[in-house]
Amino acid sequence: MRRKLAAGNWKMNGTSAELDRLATLAERHSAAGCDVLICPPATLLSRAAEALSDSQIALGGQDCHTASTGAHTGDTSAEMLKDAGASHVILGHSERRADHGESDALVRAKSEAAISAGLIAVICLGESLEEREAGQTLEVIGTQLQGSLPDSASGETVVIAYEPVWAIGTGKVPSTEQIGEVHDFIRARLEERFGAETGGSFRILYGGSVKPGNAAEIFAVSNVDGALVGGASLKPQDFGPIIDALAASAG
């Protein structure tokens, strides 16, 4: 059985003043019945690790460099994230792909670096509104999955996150049929590439305007193993009900 995962991506939000939210989250959800992951800005990682040291909540970075060290001013290596207390790292998020021109090949190289450093790579996939309307969703997702995922990947080292770009932060949510179609497609491709056992071990998260009001419905969809949550993960009163809904779906 794949253990459910609720992952929160704080993006470029949060200062030390927000660290008390982690204590609240840990107090209420350390034994949630599912895994919980918070990905704060890199500036908060080490202090967040201290705040969550007595909890089961995991920490992740939001990006890493392909190299472990070197002359890369402003970048952060996977080893540095791990040293700061991270166990995961988000890679290939649509905002990185769009704002920084990240290709599938670069995401793959970053994923290999993360795995080598002992981190779990949360690899993001997603289509634009134009691609969705043109009927290209599965083609786009298949290409991103093939190009971004290392051959060495397994369910122990990689989590897949499907985030339709047009649904991120917009309040627009695909129908459960649309979500299920993509998640089932990803599962089939994983099993085709890695075999039934390994392909069936990857957790596939859904991301894109997940909120307390729609979480239970989304978590009931085939092959949805959890969520990658953006804005709603910033406040315990919003993220907590999503965690509860996921734990309930796990039975």
Rounded to whole angstroms, the Cα distance separating 129 from 187 reads: 22
Long-range contacts of the stretch 137-146 (C-beta < 8 A, 24+)? 137/164, 137/182, 138/181, 138/182, 138/185, 141/182, 141/185, 141/186, 142/185, 142/189, 143/104, 144/92, 144/104, 145/186, 145/189, 145/190, 146/104, 146/189, 146/193
Strand-pairing partners, residue 204, are 160
| Residue 92: CA count within 13 A, CB half-sphere | 32
Rounded to whole angstroms, the Cα distance separating 158 from 208 reads: 20
Rounded to whole angstroms, the Cα distance separating 88 from 51 reads: 17
Counting every residue written for the chain, the total comes to 251
The catalytic residues are 93, 163
Give all strands (DSSP E) within 129-190, no chain letters: 158-162
Rounded to whole angstroms, the Cα distance separating 42 from 78 reads: 11
Rounded to whole angstroms, the Cα distance separating 173 from 175 reads: 6
Q: What angle do the packed helices 137-148 and 104-116 form, to 10 degrees?
A: 40
